[in-house]
Amino acid sequence: MAGLVPFGAFVRELGVDAELQRRFGHLKDGSRVVYPMGAQMRLLMDAFAVGEARPFGVESLSADALFTHLAGGSCPSVDTIYRDLDRFDEEMIQQLEGIAADHGLAPLRGRRVDCVHIDVDTTVTPVFGTHEGALPGPNPRYRGRPSYHPILARVAETDTIIGASLRRGDTGFGADDVPYVVRWLRRTRAVVGPNTLIYVRMDAAADCTAFLRAIDAEGAFFLVKAKTTRDLLTEVWGTTRWNSVDWDADGRPIRQVAEIDFQRGEWRETKTRVRVIAVRSRDRDTGRQLYLWDLDDYTVQVFLTNDMDSSIDELARRYDGRAGVEPLIAELKGAYGIGKVPSDGFNANHAALLLKMLTHNLLRRFVAARWPDLRQWRAPWLRRAVLLVPGRLTRHGRRTQLQVGRRPAFHALE
């Protein structure tokens, strides 16, 4: 794990170590503290960075001389780490979430960006045991199984997390989540400035007037897949003015778009600006296939937006970019273990989730700064390339040195 040394140096240069101790050091104070809170958090971040999903993994990592050296000379017991995670309260969790988001937005700071896309999605974390806040809820794979229901926000341009929250398992995606989205949207606006276009992309769960109004009030655009209600589908089915935008080799249209003259009652009552657009295609083979016409093999998708000027086809293709949030969630589950619950306390699990988000964002920043050609790689491959590097820790006199062999294939990228 010799790559932890340059990664740790990079993190320290960013001031993360000092900030963690400054903000959370009071959770463990006194002259008899052996493992300060900031050091414990950095220990967990290193463990998450090299592939451990739970604090229990520190026990095996403590056999590594370099990991122990970075931990200060000795690793704490697993019980100590679990007790330290239990020290987090709601206020400290909000601060930790803010730190993780700051590093997710850092790649956009100081850059001229014309447009930014924020993708909001939820995932299900099944729990096999008794855990605080783990309740039965929406769970397509383990029906009736207690779970958590975290919500995440991703910036598509950097593939980093700018907002995350662990929620109870019986929590759906709806109007109660509007404050999350507004907070994430405002922190993004503060970084990119007033002249950058921001699109918030969400699935049909966000077909909610409260969401649409809140995003529009913040001066951003929403792109939301519409709920396929009967009255909406009736209007789409009866639409005859379809414009062809793509054709096959025989000249037959394979992709058509149309603007649907449809408004829900609550949109009119609240004077919410919503433009309804539809795209039908012959060759779409991903996502839900919705057929409305008996004699045609078109499938249709319907979207809601407050962008009144862009072309329908452009908006539909812009929404397609939201698909990138699914591989990111899969990466976070597979590489960082956000689907594995480390403790029976809700706040401890929430803190562990946010530490994993912070580790993900910092690793992305580290790779972008040192090896920009690797920015498109996923975490398992990045871990192999830049962290899980063979090395030898040697001591001579009072000096400790790390010797790392040269890897010609990898150094060719530098």
Collapse the DSSP code of 191 into the 3-class scheme (helix H, G, I; strand E, B; otherwise coil) and give the result: helix
pLDDT at 292: 65
Alpha carbons 332 and 171: distance in angstroms, whole number: 21
Determine the Cα angle at 171 with ends 120 and 180, to 5°.
Answer: 40
Q: How many CA atoms lie within 13 A of 50 on its CB side?
A: 25
Q: Beta strand 197-202 with 275-281: parallel, antiparallel or unpaired? A: unpaired
pLDDT at 296: 66
Determine the Cα angle at 96 with ends 95 and 100, to 5°.
Answer: 120
DSSP letters, 115-176, are EEEEEEEE--EE-SS--TT-B----SSSTT--EE--EEEEETTTTEEEEEE--BTT--SSGG
pLDDT at 293: 65
User: Residue type for 35, please?
Assistant: Y
* Phi, psi dihedral angles at 177 (to 5 degrees): -90, 0
pTM reported for the whole predicted model = 0.90
Domains and their CATH numbers in the chain: 4-87+371-411 (no CATH), 92-328 (3.90.350.10)
Alpha carbons 184 and 98: distance in angstroms, whole number: 10
Alpha carbons 248 and 255: distance in angstroms, whole number: 9
Q: Beta strand 147-148 with 125-126: parallel, antiparallel or unpaired? A: antiparallel
Alpha carbons 38 and 22: distance in angstroms, whole number: 8
User: Mean pLDDT, consecutive 10-residue segments, the chain of 414 residues?
Assistant: 91 94 90 88 93 89 88 88 92 95 92 92 87 80 84 93 91 85 94 93 90 93 92 88 88 89 90 92 66 69 93 92 90 90 89 95 93 88 89 84 73 54
pLDDT at 361: 96
Alpha carbons 207 and 213: distance in angstroms, whole number: 11
Question: Alpha helices, DSSP H only, in 175-311?
Answer: 178-192, 209-217, 230-238, 265-270
pLDDT at 13: 94
Tell me if 3 sits within 8 A of 387, measured CB to CB: yes
Tell me if 134 sits within 8 A of 345, measured CB to CB: no
**Helix count and strand count (H, E) for the chain:** 16, 13
